[in-house]
Amino acid sequence: MTVAQLPYGETTRKLKIPEGITANILEPKQAHGAEDPYNAILEAVKNPVAGERLAERAAGVKNPLIVISDSTRPTPSNLIVLAALAELEEAGVPEENVKVLVATGLHRPCTIEELQEMLGNHILSTVPVYNHFAEDKSSLDYICDTSLGTPLYVNKLVTESDLLIGDGYIEPHFFAGYTGGGKNILPGVSGADTILCNHGAEMIDHPNARAGVLQGNPIYMDIVDGANLVDYGFSINVTLNNQKQVSGVFAGDFEEAHIKGTEFLDSNVKIKCNASDIAVVTNGGYPLDRDLYQAVKAMTIGEAATREGGTIIVACECRDGIGHPHFRKLVEESNGPDEILEKIRTPGSFTIDQWQAQILARILQRNTVICVTEGVDADSMKAMHLDYAKNIDEALESALKQSGADPEVNIFPGGPSSIPVRR
């Protein structure tokens, strides 16, 4: 019997594959976690992989802005901000001049409890922290159009600062190639019109808009262009192992530092596999699996690892339910994946979060998806055109009935931290 532990919220769920069924547990290579993550980050900031160290970049700066990830990312923002503050202090920048902006993109704002978890009370009591609101046009400045024609609107705190510092967590991203890098500028602190254009139907449909692909990926290219246009000065990105320990720090000029981080991950996260009948995936546990919207990322792993007509089982806690009301409305008010895609691809039609619905519909055109969760009930799942199972055993039993003789099961406990590569 094959047994796998699946991250689920802050706990795990045990998956047991019966004897006689071919099962493959497919996990990324695990890099060693730093024994002292703060010092690892601080050393990387002092010795960047590209460009000057932060203290040198900050000489003479009066209004630095630190842009951080939101609550859906496991980025160790508290340690990164503390390291940045130490370098700014060495450069002679008064602490009272520093501001922090949460790169929410079109996600909801972070609550005070989430900010305490992300940053700690010391930072919250020392430095002003702001949420970005992409739909608040009064809080935005227009810069110019990117080379791909995306109108670049960004938070005014960005344009008012004289040094942009950003954190980031680098992992595979289901349409931008990899997270981190310029993503905390576009979409992180960009306006809704900017995000809708960057995440438009044609961009999402592009064959290179996939996990692990940067070359020729229009979404990634647009992100880099946008970050350069606002003079993104210094980024501090980390990679994490499956215990959420810091396994690498890549600091310095944002584009080159990000590329170094993605090259490090490439050798670890790309996993060769057969196209199986069933794929069992997770979203990596909390905070990545906090809602169904985020779980679409896990589904893309199953999409890449199964045959057409196969079944994807997703174990995802969804403590915040479905999440993202525009995403929910678009999916629920459609009769199925074909209608979802028809609406999204209609010229002039733009809906917030349509990209997540577009990718979900693409998957549902080729796969059955069964969700194992306590955060969304069976009726709500049915309305989202997804199957529901109350536990992992029930989901597997249902998938095996649909698979026919001699099924093969691919299991990805790490979810979006893995990139399946078909043999």
Phi then psi for 111, rounded to 5 degrees? -80, 165
- Which segments of the chain have a pLDDT < 70? none
**Catalytic residue flag (residue 107):** yes
What does each C-alpha distance from 29 to 52, 275, 299 come to in angstroms? 31, 20, 21
249 three-state secondary structure: strand
Note the pLDDT of residue 401: 92
Residues 6+ apart with CB under 8 A from 18: 1
pLDDT for 423 equals: 82
Q: Which residues of 123-148 are buried (b: 16+ CB within 10 A; e: fewer)?
A: bbebbebbbbbbeeeebbeebeebee
Using DSSP, state whether 272 is helix, strand or coil. strand
Q: Are 170 and 180 in contact (CB under 8 A)?
A: yes
CATH of domain 37-268: 3.40.50.11440
d(CA 104, CA 109): 6
pLDDT for 350 equals: 84
Catalytic hit among 107, 132, 258, 385: 107
Cα separations in angstroms, 357 against 77, 244, 280, 287, 418? 29, 28, 21, 21, 22
Give yes or no for a cis peptide into 337 (omega within 30° of 0).
no
Pairing of strands 408-412, 276-282: parallel
Cβ contact 261:389 at 8 Å: no
- Contact in structure between 174 and 416 (CB atoms under 8 Å): yes
DSSP readout, 159-175?
HH-SEEEEEEE--EETT
Which residue in the list 132, 173, 324, 385 is annotated as catalytic? 173
CA atoms 378, 379, 382, 384: torsion sign: negative
Backbone angles phi, psi at 230, to 5 degrees: -100, 10
Query: Which among 83, 219, 98 is positioned nearest to 157, based on CA atoms?
Result: 98
3-class SS string, 347-407: CCCCCCCHHHHHHHHHHHCCCEEEEECCCCCHHHHHHCCCEEECCHHHHHHHHHHHHCCCC
Return residue ranges of the chain for CATH 3.90.226.30.
Answer: 2-29+274-422
**Region 2-29+274-422: CATH code:** 3.90.226.30
Residue range 332-346, pLDDT digits in tens: 999 999 999 999 999
Cα dist from 77 to 117, 123, 317, 334, whole Å = 10, 10, 23, 39
Provide the pairing of β-strand 387-389 with 232-240: unpaired
Unique residue bearing structure tokens 């991250």: 7
Contact by Cβ (8 Å): 43, 251: no
Locate 330 and state its tokens.
């678009």
- Listed residue (174, 165, 138) closest to 153, CA to CA: 138
Q: Where in the chain is the domain with CATH 3.40.50.11440?
A: 37-268
